[in-house]
């Protein structure tokens, strides 16, 4: 029981991290664009 809970928590953490990485890059890019850096790729 505890092992399955731990594995589920680990899987959730890894999935969330993988999904949020591109979103964080997009936010960083939009902040750079807002600051006037138009050489940034989004």
pLDDT string in tens for the chain (42-residue length): 899 999 999 999 999 999 999 999 999 999 999 999 999 888
Cα 10 to the chain's mean position, in Å?
16
Q: Which two tokens stand for residue 41?
A: 């790729």
Q: Which two tokens stand for residue 36?
A: 């006037």
Question: How far apart are alpha carbons 32 and 7 in whole angstroms?
Answer: 38
pTM of the predicted structure, to 2 decimals: 0.64
Taking Cα atoms as reference points, which of 27, 29, 32, 31 lies closest to residue 42? 29
Give me the pLDDT at residue 37, please. 95
């Amino acid at each position: 029981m505890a092992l399955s809970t731990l594995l589920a928590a680990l899987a959730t953490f890894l999935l969330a991290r993988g999904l949020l990485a591109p979103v964080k890059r997009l936010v960083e890019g939009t902040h750079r664009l807002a600051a006037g850096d138009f050489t940034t790729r989004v």
